[in-house]
Amino acid sequence: MNEHSIRNMVIVGGGTAGWMAAAAFSRFLNNGYTRITLVESEEIGTIGVGEATIPPLITFNNMLGINENDFVSATQGTFKLGIEFVNWGGLGERYFHPFGNHGHDLEGVHFHQLYLRERKRRVMQDISAWSMCSVAAQHGKFARPAPDTKPPFGHLFYAFQFDASLYARYLRNYAEARGVTRIEGKIVDATLRPSDGFVESVTLGDGRQIEGDLFIDCSGFRGLLIEQKLETGYEDWTHWLPCDRAIAVPCANPGPPDPFTRATAHSAGWQWRIPLQHRMGNGHVYSSAFISDDEAERVLLDNLEGAPLQEPRRLTFTTGRRKQAWNRNVVSLGLSSGFVEPLESTSIHLIQSGIAKLIALFPDKRFNPVERGEYNKQMQSLFEDIRDFIILHYNATNRDDSAFWNQCRTMSIPDSLAWKIELFRAKARVFREGFDLFGTASWVAVMLGQHIVPEDYEPPADALDEDRVAAALEQMRLGYLETAQAMPTQAEFIARCCAGRPPEAELRQFDFGTMA
pLDDT in tens, 287-312: 999 999 999 999 999 999 999 999 99
Q: What is the mean pLDDT of residues 420-437?
A: 93
Q: Which of 39-53, 138-152, 193-207, 337-351 has the lowest mean pLDDT?
A: 39-53
**Is residue 297 included in any domain, yes or no?**
yes
Tell me whether residue 80 is one of the annotated catalytic residues. Answer: yes
Residue 292 and residue 174 in one domain: no
Identify the pLDDT of residue 436.
78
Whether 208 and 336 map to the same domain: the answer is yes
Note the pLDDT of residue 394: 98
Long-range (24+ apart) CB contacts under 8 A made by 301-304 are 301/249, 303/264, 303/266, 303/271, 304/249, 304/251
Residue 147: the pLDDT is 87
Do 233 and 330 lie in one domain? The reply is yes
Answer yes or no: pTM beyond 0.85.
Answer: yes
For residue range 3-22, list pLDDT tens digits in order. 899 999 999 999 999 999 99
Contacts of 437 (CB under 8 A, 6+ apart): 54, 56, 346, 349, 382, 385, 386
Please give the pLDDT value at position 1. Answer: 72
CATH code for the domain in which residue 36 is found: 3.50.50.60
Mean pLDDT value across residues 155-177: 96
* Nearest CA among 376, 389, 259 for reference residue 323: 376
Same domain, 176 and 208: yes
Comparing CA positions, the residue from 168, 135, 185, 158 lying closest to residue 19 is 168
d(CA 363, CA 353) in angstroms, rounded, equals 17
How many domains does the chain divide into?
2
Single-letter code of the amino acid located at 107? E
Pair 44, 187 in one domain: yes
* Mean pLDDT score across all residues of the chain: 94
pLDDT cut 90: percent of the chain above it: 93
Q: Kindly indicate the confidence band of residue 388, based on its pLDDT and cuts at 50, 70 and 90.
A: very high
- pLDDT, tens digit, 9 for 90 and up, residues 28-38: 999 999 999 99
- Please, are residues 488 and 142 in contact by the beta-carbon 8 Å criterion? yes
Render 167-227 in DSSP notation, one character per residue: HHHHHHHHHHHTTPEEEE--EEEEEE-TTT--EEEEEETTS-EEE-SEEEE--GGG-TTTT
**pLDDT at residue 83 tops 80:** yes
Please give, one letter per residue, the 3-state secondary structure of 359-383: HHCCCCCCCCHHHHHHHHHHHHHHH
Mean pLDDT value across residues 42-53: 66
- Is 46 contained in some domain? yes
Last residue of a domain, one of 342, 368, 383: 383
For residue 161, the tally of other CB atoms under 10 A from its CB is: 27
Q: 310 with 332, same domain?
A: no
Which domain, by its residues, includes 185? 8-51+163-237+323-383
Rounded distance between C-alpha atoms, residue 55 and residue 439, angstroms: 12
Could you tell me if 230 and 339 lie in one domain? yes
Confidence of residue 42 (pLDDT cuts 50, 70, 90): confident
User: What would you measure as the largest C-alpha separation in the chain, in angstroms?
Assistant: 77
Q: Of 383, 412, 427, which closes a domain?
A: 383
Domain match, 226 and 183 both: yes
Residue 164, SS3?
A: helix
Nearest-angstrom CA–CA distance, 207 and 209: 6
- DSSP secondary structure, 52-84, as one string: B--THHHHHHHHTT--HHHHHHHTT-EEE-EEE
Instruction: Report CA Rg, the chain.
Output: 23
* 312 and 170 together in one domain: no
Percent of the chain beyond pLDDT 70? Answer: 96
pLDDT at 501 over 80: no
Contacts of residue 227, Cβ cutoff 8 Å, sequence gap at least 6? 233, 234, 322, 336
Instruction: Measure CA 410 to chain center.
Output: 27
Residue 504, pLDDT score = 52
Contact between residue 290 and residue 403 where contact means Cβ atoms under 8 Å apart: yes
pLDDT at 112: 98
Q: What is the pLDDT of residue 160?
A: 98
pLDDT of residue 45 exceeding 60: no
DSSP state of 489: B
Give the domain-ending residue among 267, 292, 316.
316
Residue 63 lies in a domain: no
Do 222 and 177 share a structural domain? yes
Catalogue the E-assigned strands of 319-372: 320-322, 326-327, 330-332, 338-339
Tell me whether residue 67 is in a domain: no
- Whether 450 is covered by a domain: the verdict is no
Q: Note whether 171 and 306 are same-domain residues.
A: no
Residue 101 pLDDT > 70 = yes
Quick: pLDDT tens for 240-251: 999 999 999 999
Whether residue 216 is contained in a domain is answered as yes
Is 358 in a helix, a strand, or coil?
Answer: helix
- Domain co-membership, 178 together with 293: no
The strand order across the sheet containing 338-339 reads 234-236, 320-322, 338-339
Identify whether 502 is part of a domain. no
The answer to whether position 281 is within a domain reads yes
Q: Supply the pLDDT for residue 502.
A: 65
Least confident range of 317-321, 384-388, 477-481, 504-508 = 504-508
- pLDDT computed for residue 511 by the predictor: 32
The helix (run of H) or strand (run of E) holding residue 507 is helix 506-509
